[in-house]
Amino acid sequence: MTGNSPFNPGRNVGSFTSGADLQHDAVIVLDKCLGVSETAILYNRLMMLTSQGRAVTLDCSCVTVVDTTLLRMMASFVWRTNENGSNVVWRNPSAAFCMTTELLGLENLVSLESTTACVSA
Provide mean pLDDT across the span 87-116: 82
Q: Where are the domains of the chain?
A: 14-103
What's residue 121's pLDDT?
44
For residue 13, report the phi and psi dihedrals to the nearest 5 degrees: -80, -30
Task: List helix spans (H) across 22-116.
Answer: 39-51, 68-83, 95-103
Q: In b/e form, how buried is each residue of 7-16, taking b as 16+ CB within 10 angstroms? A: beeeebbbbe
Q: pLDDT tens for residues 41-95?
A: 899 889 888 888 888 899 999 999 999 999 999 988 988 888 887 878 888 899 9
Q: How far apart are the first and last CA of the chain?
A: 26
- Considering the entire predicted model, what is its pTM? 0.73
Residue 37 pLDDT > 50: yes
CATH T-level assignment (fold) for domain 14-103: Transcription Regulator spoIIAA (3.30.750)
